[in-house]
């Protein structure tokens, strides 16, 4: 939802300065992050990669501060868009989904996924396995890997987003195309820890939906700290 609010607002060339507040936030809460460094200037489009590939709470916070402007205003925009999308059982209280008061349901997350994947700017990001941002005088070099390990392992998968928090467990919102047939699905609380089981479970559902027999071994998950489960 954080990414969708930003994309619909537009102005993705907007230059955003990373502050010490974003760095302190991920360090204080042990949140998954994009490794942003205070003083660097990145475009909103670049920060979307930082949000959606490594689940960077620091990148999400920087976008929320800029596009709110300020976090309370941004969260109001998230909830307003949720209502517009008829996500009746969803409530956002933060930009990254790490609060226990951030709640949603499988049906609502499907609605969110469908809306997000209709945006070319969103699809372009979540389909990337990795993304590199070269160093410039005003920023460091960044290299991000997509935490969605189903990409390129199951044919036709082009998104969408992983998630993990202690209350939500291991989660995945996924999207795939096979012979012009589109399937979107969500798995919540697939495992209590980040074991990669969610990717196997998603493959089983895709096999059922596409009438295929693609075998996916549990991939070795990327090292993770609590990551965006709802807001990202």
- Cα 53 → chain centroid: 7
Joined together, the tokens standing for residue 124 give 């372009």
What does 4-70 look like in DSSP terms, one character per residue? HHHHHH--TT-EEE--HHHHHHHHHHT-------TT-EEEHHHHHHHHHSS--HHHHHHHHHHHTTS
**Per-residue pLDDT reduced to its tens digit, 36-87:** 999 999 999 999 999 999 999 999 999 999 999 999 999 999 999 999 999 9
Prediction pTM value: 0.92
The pLDDT tens digits of the residues spanning 120-172 come to 999 999 999 999 999 999 999 999 999 999 998 999 999 999 998 888 889 99
- Report all structural domains of the chain as residue ranges with CATH numbers, in order of start: 2-210 (3.40.710.10)
Give pLDDT tens digits for 191-210: 877 778 899 999 999 999 99
């Amino acid at each position: 939802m954080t990414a969708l609010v930003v994309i619909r607002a537009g102005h993705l060339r907007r230059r955003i300065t990373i502050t010490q507040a974003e760095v302190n936030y991920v360090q204080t809460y042990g949140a998954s992050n994009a490794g942003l460094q205070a003083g660097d200037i990145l475009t909103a489009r670049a920060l979307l990669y930082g949000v959606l590939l490594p689940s960077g709470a620091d990148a999400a916070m920087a976008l929320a501060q800029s596009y709110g402007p300020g976090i309370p205003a941004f969260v109001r925009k998230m909830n307003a868009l949720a209502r517009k999308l008829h996500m009746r059982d969803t409530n956002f209280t933060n930009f990254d989904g790490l609060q226990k008061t951030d709640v949603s349901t499988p049906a609502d997350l499907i609605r969110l996924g469908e809306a997000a994947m209709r945006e070319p700017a969103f699809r372009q990001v979540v389909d990337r396995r990795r993304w590199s941002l070269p160093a410039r005088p005003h920023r460091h070099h960044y290299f991000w890997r997509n935490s969605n390990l189903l990409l390129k392992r199951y044919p036709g998968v082009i998104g969408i987003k992983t998630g993990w928090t202690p209350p939500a467990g291991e989660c995945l919102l996924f999207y795939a195309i096979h012979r012009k047939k589109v399937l979107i699905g969500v798995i919540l609380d697939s495992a209590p820890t980040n074991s990669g089981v969610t990717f196997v479970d998603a493959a089983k559902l895709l096999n059922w939906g596409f009438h295929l027999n693609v075998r996916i071994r549990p991939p070795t998950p990327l090292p993770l700290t609590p990551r965006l489960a709802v807001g990202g």
